[in-house]
Structure 1
Amino acid sequence: MRRMLLVMAMAATSAASAQKIADPKPFANSITPDDLKKHLYIVAGPGMEGRETATEGQRKAAAYIESQFKSLGLIPGNKGNFQLGYPIYQDSLISTSIEVNGQKFSINTDFIINLNMAHTSTIFCSDVVFAGAGISDSTRNDYKDINVQGKIVLILQNPPAPSGGASTPTRRLNPFTIMETAQKNGAAAILMVQNNFPRKGVPYVKGSPYLNGFQHSVYPNTFFISEEIAKAIMGADFDAVKDAMKNGNSPFKKYQANVKLEFKKEINELASTNVIGFLEGSDKKDEFVFITAHYDHLGKRGDSIIYYGADDDGSGTVSVLELAEAFTKAKAAGKGPRRSIVFMTVSGEEKGLWGSEFYSDHPLYPLDKTTADLNIDMIGRIDPKRKEGDSTNYVYVVGDDKLSSDLRPISEAMNKKYTKLELDYKYNAPKDPERIYYRSDHYNFARKGVPIIFYFNGTHNDYHRPSDTPDKINYNLMAKRAQLVFYTAWEMANRNEMLKRDIPLTQQ
Structure 2
Amino acid sequence: MRRMFLVMAMAATTAASAQKIADPKPFANTITADDLKKHLYIVAGPGMEGRETATEGQRKAAAYIESQFKSLGLLPGNKDNFQAGFPIYQDTLLNAAVEVNGRRFELNTDFAVNLNMAHSSTIYCGEVVFSGYGISDSTRNDYKNINAQGKIVLILQGSPPSSSGGNTAGNRSRFSPFTAMEAAQKNGAAAILMVQNNFPRRSAPIKGSPYLNGFRKTVFPNTYYISEEVAKAIMGADYDGAKEAMKNGNPQPKTYEADVKLEFKKNMNELTSTNVIGFLEGSDKKDEFVFITAHYDHLGKRGDSVIFYGADDDGSGTVSVLELAEAFVKAKAAGKGPRRSIVFMAVSGEEKGLWGSEYYSDHPLFPLSKTTVDLNIDMIGRSDPKRKVGDSTNYVYVVGDDKLSSDLRPISEAMNKKYTKLELDYKYNAPKDPERIYFRSDHYNFARKGVPIIFYFNGTHNDYHKPTDTPDKINYNLMAKRAQLIFYTAWEMANRNEMLKRDIPLTE
> Do they fold alike, i.e. is TM over 0.5?
yes
TM-score class normalised by the smaller sequence? over 0.9
**CA distance in 2 between partners of 1:492 and 1:16 (Å):** 18
Counterpart-to-counterpart distance in 2, 1:119 and 1:245: 30
For 2:433 and 2:54, how far apart are their aligned partners in 1? 32
Any conservation in 2 of the 1:372–1:450 contact (CA below 8 Å)? yes
User: What is the correspondence of 1:466-481 to structure 2 with a 5 Å cutoff?
Assistant: 466-481=467-482
Question: Do structure 1's residue 37 and structure 2's residue 63 form an aligned pair?
Answer: no
Counterpart contact for 2:160–2:167, Cα < 8 Å: no
Structure 1: gaps of 5 or more residues: none
Q: For residues 5 and 379 of structure 2, what CA distance do their matches in structure 1 show? A: 54
Alignment of 1:77 with 2:108, yes or no, is: no
In the alignment, residue 438 of structure 2 is paired with which amino acid? Y
Letter matched to residue 75 of structure 1: L
> Is the 2:159–2:167 contact (alpha carbons within 8 Å) kept by the matching residues of 1?
no
After superposition, the C-alpha distances for 1:321-343 in whole angstroms (9 at most, x for unaligned) are: 00000000000000000000000
Shift of 1:163: 2.4
Counterpart of 2:157 in structure 1 is 157
Which position in structure 1 is the counterpart of 2:116? 116
**What amino acid is aligned across from residue 382 of structure 1 in structure 2?**
S
Given the two structures, how large is their TM-score scaled by the length of structure 2?
A: 0.96
Question: Following superposition of structure 1 onto structure 2, how do residues 100-499 of structure 1 map, counting pairs within 5 Å?
Answer: 100-168=100-168, 171-200=173-202, 202-499=203-500
- Deviation sequence 1:79-115 (CA, Å, 0-9, x none): 1000001111110011010000000011111111000
Task: State the distance in 1 between where 2:64 and 2:248 align.
Answer: 64
**Alpha-carbon distance between aligned partners in 2 of 1:9 and 1:125, rounded to the nearest angstrom:** 84
Deviation at 1:390, TM superposition (A): 1.1
Q: CA deviation at 1:13?
A: 7.0
Q: Which amino acid letter does the alignment assign opposite residue 37 of structure 1?
A: K
Q: Deviations over 1:390-409 (max 9, x none)?
A: 11111111111111111111
CA shift in 2, pair 1:250/1:70, >3 Å: same
The change in CA–CA distance for 1:6 and 1:57 in structure 2 (over 3 A counts) is closer
Matched residue, 2:18: 19
CA distance in 2 between counterparts of 1:257 and 1:6 reads 92
Q: CA deviation at 1:144?
A: 2.6
Secondary structure, aligned partner of 1:173: coil
Greater CA drift, 314-323 or 157-166: 157-166
C-alpha deviations, 1:453-502, integer Å up to 9, x for none?
10011111111000000011111111111111101100000000000111
**Residues 8/241 of structure 1: CA separation in 2 closer, same or farther (3 Å cut):** closer
1:400 and 1:273 map into 2 onto residues whose CA distance is: 28
Provide, for residues 26-77 of structure 1, a one-character-per-residue CA deviation record: whole Å limited to 9, x for no partner.
Answer: 0001000110000000000000000000000000000000000000000011
For structure 2, the 5+ residue unaligned runs are none
SS of aligned partner of 1:345: strand
Paired-residue identity, %? 81
User: Match of 1:501, as an amino acid?
Assistant: R
How far apart are the structure 1 equivalents of 2:179 and 2:13?
A: 67
Maintained 8 Å contact 1:132/1:159: no
Q: Secondary structure at the match of 1:71?
A: helix
* AA in 1 matched with 2:182: E
Structure 1 moving runs of 4+ over 3 Å: 5-18, 169-172
- Secondary structure at the residue paired with 1:278? strand
Partner of 2:52: 52
Mapped to 1, the partners of 2:92 and 2:8 lie a distance apart of: 73
Which residue type is aligned with residue 443 of structure 1?
Y
Distance 2:172 2:199 in 1: 23
Q: CA contact under 8 A between 1:111 and 1:225: conserved in structure 2?
A: yes
Contact 2:130 2:153 in 1 (8 A): yes
Q: Which amino acid aligns with 1:245?
A: M
Give me the whole-angstrom Cα distance separating, in 1, the residues matched to 2:6 and 2:273.
Answer: 59
Q: 1:23 to 1:246 in 2, by over 3 A?
A: same
Q: How far is 1:158 from its partner? A: 1.4
Contact residue 189 and residue 222 of structure 1 kept, 8 A:
yes
Separation of aligned partners in 2, 1:262 and 1:6: 80
Shift of 1:10: 9.7
TM-score normalised by L of structure 1: 0.96
- CA distance 1:8–1:261, change in 2 (3 Å): closer
CA pair 57-78 structure 1, distance change in 2 beyond 3 A: same
8 Å contact kept, 1:163–1:248: no
Letter in 2 for 1:198: P
- Whichever residue aligns with residue 70 of structure 2, its letter is K
Helix, strand or coil for the counterpart of 1:360?
Answer: helix
Distance in 2, Cα, partners of 1:31 & 1:203 = 47
- Structure 1: distance between partners of 2:469 and 2:154: 47
1:6, CA displacement in angstroms? 13
From the superposition, tell whether residues 9 and 49 of structure 1 become closer, same or farther in structure 2 (CA, over 3 Å): closer
Q: Distance in 2 between matches of 1:93 and 1:17?
A: 62
Determine the C-alpha separation between the residues in 2 that align with 1:10 and 1:178: 71
On the 8 A contact 2:90/2:211 being kept in 1, the answer is yes
The answer (yes or no) to whether the contact 2:154–2:193 under 8 Å persists in 1 is yes
Cα offset, 1:167, TM superposition: 3.2
Distance in 2 between residues matched to 1:426 and 1:394, nearest whole Å: 12
AA of the residue aligned to 2:184: A
> Structure 2 vs 1, CA of residues 88 and 11 (structure 1 numbering), >3 Å: closer, same or farther?
closer
Q: Distance in 1 between matches of 2:462 and 2:418?
A: 33
Matched to 1:122, the amino acid is T
Deviations 1:388-438 (A, max 9, x none): 111111111111111111111111111111111111111111111111111
Kindly indicate whether the alpha-carbon contact (under 8 Å) linking 1:160 and 1:250 is maintained by their aligned counterparts in 2: no
RMSD: 1.8
Q: Distance in 1 between matches of 2:211 and 2:278?
A: 26
- Whether contact under 8 Å (1:190, 1:221) holds in the other structure is yes
1-side partners of 2:260 and 2:6: how far apart? 95
